[in-house]
């Protein structure tokens, strides 16, 4: 449900965005990462991501758009999600993320 809310909000925001701006960013690529952790380890994963991993990604010019821990149990238990923005598909390939 959380992911569905995020997608719906993104679609509404995209419709409200300035068309010229959307064209200017047409090469931008977003990468959605979903991690399934060992039960009980999501808080440690979230802490490591917040304190270390996101800073390391930024150092390599990878913009972390956001990260989430879904609350929809039991299907989304032990799941950590984050979204990274790349300036282009080529840049995404250079970083090794995709």
Indicate if the pLDDT at residue 53 is higher than 60. yes
Q: What is the pTM of this model?
A: 0.63
The residues pairing with 82 across neighbouring beta strands, listed in sequence order, are 33, 67
Element (H or E) spanning 68, and its range?
strand 63-68
Query: C-alpha 24: how far from its chain's center?
Result: 21
What is the pLDDT at residue 19? 44
Q: Which residue has the higher pLDDT, 73 or 58?
A: 58
Average pLDDT, the chain: 78
CATH topology of domain 27-95: Alpha-Beta Plaits (3.30.70)
Element (H or E) spanning 14, and its range?
helix 2-16
Indicate if the pLDDT at residue 13 is higher than 70. no
Indicate if the pLDDT at residue 98 is higher than 80. no
What is the pLDDT at residue 9? 54
Domain extents for the chain?
27-95
What is the pLDDT at residue 25? 53
């Amino acid at each position: 449900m959380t992911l569905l809310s995020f997608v719906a909000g993104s679609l509404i925001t995209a419709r409200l965005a300035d068309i010229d701006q959307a064209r200017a960013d047409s090469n931008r690529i977003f990468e959605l990462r979903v991690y399934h952790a060992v039960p009980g380890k999501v808080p440690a994963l979230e802490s490591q991501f917040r304190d270390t991993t996101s800073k390391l990604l930024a150092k390599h010019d990878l913009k972390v758009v956001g990260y989430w821990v879904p609350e929809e149990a039991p299907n989304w238990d032990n799941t950590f999600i984050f979204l990274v923005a790349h300036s282009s598909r080529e840049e995404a390939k250079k970083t090794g993320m995709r």
